[in-house]
Amino acid sequence: MKSLEGKVAIITGASKGIGAAIAKGLGAAGASVVVNYVSSKQDADRVVQEITANSGNAIAVQGNVSKAADVHKIFAETKKAFGRLDILVNNAGVYEFHPIEQVTEEEFHREFDINVLGTILATREASKHFGPEGGSVINIGSVASQVTPVASVVYTATKSALDAVTRVLAKELGPRNIRVNSINPGMIETEGTHQAGIMGSDFEKNVVS
């Protein structure tokens, strides 16, 4: 029997990059997986196909985690398809790196809405769907909250906020057998980091060093 056989997991922002890898890993471990995406339906469907091709169970569900109505839909579709929820991975995240002179209100709100508000809204909804045995919430943070690289003031602020959100909710939800943890990876090579021109740049060297 696989270690997560019978479990159900939602991974937000799972059509590409880290989220896609997590979805595939959980699927390989036996979990039924909900691959959440905002606009990349083709990529999300590809992740689902890879999971099901390896005898796993998965569906793709569209939804913007910064919108409460979308979050409700994601969890409703999960319950409809699989009847329960055991794991939530708050992976959805966005970033742009600019010096302080180029920071805009629009970019500030975009990053905080997805990276912080989205995590809070999804965790709030998950807490309603976990059974009496509890569940697990895993937040994907970043080493940026400790390294604090230059030209990342908004992104680093969101990931620092996520560290605090994780600690608060671990205390708040722990008595209900809901574990809340954060994984804070360093620089990971993904489609997004290549598209943003980060890999091989001075910014990458600043983060890694």
Active site residues: 155
d(C-alpha 142, C-alpha 196), whole Å: 17
Residues 6 or more apart in contact with residue 109 via CB below 8 angstroms: none
Q: Which residues contact 206 (CB under 8 A, 6 or more apart)?
A: 149, 150
Dihedral of CA 134/5/50/200: which sign? positive
Report how far residue 40's alpha carbon sits from residue 124's, in angstroms, rounded to the nearest whole number. Answer: 25
Helix (H) or strand (E) holding 196, with range, is: none
Structure-block tokens of residue 112: 């905080």
CA distance readout (Å), 7 to 19, 73, 90: 18, 20, 17
End-to-end Cα separation, the chain, in angstroms: 42
CB-count burial class (<10 Å; 0-12, 13-18, 19+) for 164: exposed
